[in-house]
């Protein structure tokens, strides 16, 4: 199908292009920006006046719950929610059931995502067999036959520094990026909130910020030793951001990201044991939140992810320490990121870059996250000033668990295109 998107503000953060113009799409690719190709006839026209036309978002960390926990969500339900949020590419960590430590599991996920047709799903292979932290997984096999874009141990600790070093050496030899969850398990074990004012007030077991910074310190030393390329997925402390930024300045091949909720919430949002704010890493102090925002402004932080973790209702109904951590974040990712612009943290191209071409580059996806002729027509059209009230019960995701319930946000996704096909149309939902 050939599509003309006309009259919108076309923003491509990767190239700096920003103009009110037209976009021409055919055969799943962007044919041209501005001037119509010779002989072009549109099968469909989309009026984008008053809308922002941006690359489809790339989310570096999202759980889809399938395979293994289909009662919480499926690839079909969660990729449909992703499309509603303007997300066209999702990266799935390996902590599925079974674990993504064989090419067969990676291929199963990719096939089901293709069958659903709402969004592209890429996978991270397991760093260690079964995520057990003891034996190395077959990374080369996962890369070549499973088409995994990197390796990770998800949120499972690799307590042995020797094993982590060997894993990084193997990943470096395979030229695979290691995606890291920075957590010293001996310091965080048993904790469920940030160790500070709220943990003391509520009598909840705390996780000190040292659990993150100690882990970051170890991994940075090993990265320097092995030369592996690494990405810290969702940092939560200002000190950790400073450490990784310094290492990057010194030439280490590292990058880092954070989550949309850590950029807006603090430990105070736990309130009176609100389990919807139970996340790992935990919500930190206002100083930490401001440090993360500064990392966005300075360009030190490369990605803003949803860290999407849908849950069934029962998972959030137990006493706080016994509830399951995680937020359903796909459908609020873009408006929460745009809110950083409204708060004066950074300009719009900078923020959009953290959602598009920068995560695409980290994942090695050269034809995603940009609006340039010849590339995949993964496109999001949204109304930047249109207000809407967050209502978790209305999410397309099977997970309704969000601490942003009732928040007034701006930025409503109206259309999402995946390889030139309209996979979300707000007016037809």
What is the set of active-site residues? 307
DSSP string, 313-366: GGGGSS-GGGSPP-B--GGGHHHHHHHHHHTTSS-HHHHHHTTTHHHHHHTT-T
Torsion of CA 265, 270, 275, 276, to 10 degrees: -20
**Tokens at 382, concatenated:** 């949204």
Helices (H) and strands (E) in the chain, counts: 12, 18
Closest CA to 255 of 284, 276, 234: 234
Classify 221 as helix, strand or coil: helix
- Three-class SS state of 28: coil
CA-CA distance, 326 to 349, in Å (whole number)? 28
Residue whose pair of structure tokens reads 């390889």 in the numeric block: 419
Question: Helices in 174-318 by DSSP H: which ranges?
Answer: 185-188, 197-202, 210-226, 238-249, 286-298
CA distances from 192 to 10, 30, 203, 257, 273 (A): 43, 46, 11, 21, 11
Alpha carbon 14 to its chain's center = 18
Measured in degrees and rounded to the nearest 5, phi and psi for residue 305 equal -115, 170
CA angle 416, 418, 422 (to 5 degrees): 55
Rounded to an integer, what distance in angstroms lies between the CA atom of residue 60 and that of residue 399? 19
Q: CB-hemisphere CA count at 13 Å for 403?
A: 26
| Alpha carbon of residue 132 to chain centroid | 24
Q: Which two tokens stand for residue 68?
A: 């293994």
Distance in angstroms (rounded) separating the CA atoms of residues 171 and 223 = 11
Rounded Cα–Cα distance for residues 414 and 416 (Å): 7
Q: How far apart are CA 211 and CA 214, in angstroms?
A: 6
């Amino acid at each position: 199908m050939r599509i003309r998107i006309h009259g919108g503000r076309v923003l491509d953060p990767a190239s700096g292009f920003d103009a009110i113009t037209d976009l021409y799409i055919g055969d799943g690719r962007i044919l041209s920006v501005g001037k119509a190709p010779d002989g072009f006839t549109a099968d469909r026209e989309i009026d984008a006046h008053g809308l922002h036309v941006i690359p489809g978002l790339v989310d570096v960390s999202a759980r889809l719950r399938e395979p293994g926990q289909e009662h919480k969500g499926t690839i079909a339900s969660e990729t449909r929610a992703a499309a509603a949020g303007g997300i066209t590419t999702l990266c799935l960590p390996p902590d599925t059931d079974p674990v993504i430590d064989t090419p067969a599991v990676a291929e199963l996920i990719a096939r089901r995502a293709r069958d659903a047709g709402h969004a592209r799903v890429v996978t991270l292979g397991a760093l260690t067999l079964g995520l057990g932290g003891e034996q190395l997984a077959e990374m080369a096999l996962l890369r070549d036959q499973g088409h995994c874009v990197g390796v990770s141990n998800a949120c499972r600790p690799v307590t042995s520094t020797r094993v982590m070093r060997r894993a990084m050496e193997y990943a470096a030899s395979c030229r695979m990026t290691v995606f890291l969850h920075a957590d010293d398990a001996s310091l965080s074990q048993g904790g469920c909130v940030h160790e500070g004012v709220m943990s003391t007030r509520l009598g909840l077991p705390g996780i000190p910020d040292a659990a993150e910074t100690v882990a970051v310190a170890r991994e940075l030393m090993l990265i320097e030793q092995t030369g592996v390329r690494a990405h810290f997925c969702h940092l939560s402390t200002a000190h950790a951001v400073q450490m990784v930024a310094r290492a990057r300045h010194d030439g280490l091949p590292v990058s880092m990201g954070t989550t949309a909720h850590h950029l807006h919430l603090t430990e105070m949002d736990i309130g009176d044991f609100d389990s919807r704010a139970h996340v790992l890493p935990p919500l930190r102090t206002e100083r930490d939140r401001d440090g993360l925002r500064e990392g966005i402004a300075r360009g030190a932080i490369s990605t803003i992810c949803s860290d999407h973790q849908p849950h069934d209702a029962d998972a959030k109904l137990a006493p706080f320490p016994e509830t399951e951590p995680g937020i359903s974040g796909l459908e609020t990712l873009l408006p929460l990121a745009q809110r950083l612009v409204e708060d004066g943290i950074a300009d719009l191209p900078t923020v959009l870059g953290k959602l598009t071409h920068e995560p695409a580059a980290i994942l090695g996806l050269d034809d995603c996250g940009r609006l340039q002729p010849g590339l995949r027509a993964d496109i999001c059209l949204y109304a930047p000033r249109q207000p809407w009230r967050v209502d978790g019960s209305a999410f397309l995701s099977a997970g309704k668990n969000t601490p942003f319930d009732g928040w007034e946000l701006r930025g409503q996704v109206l259309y999402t295109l995946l390889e030139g096909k309209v996979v979300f149309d707000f007016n037809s939902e």
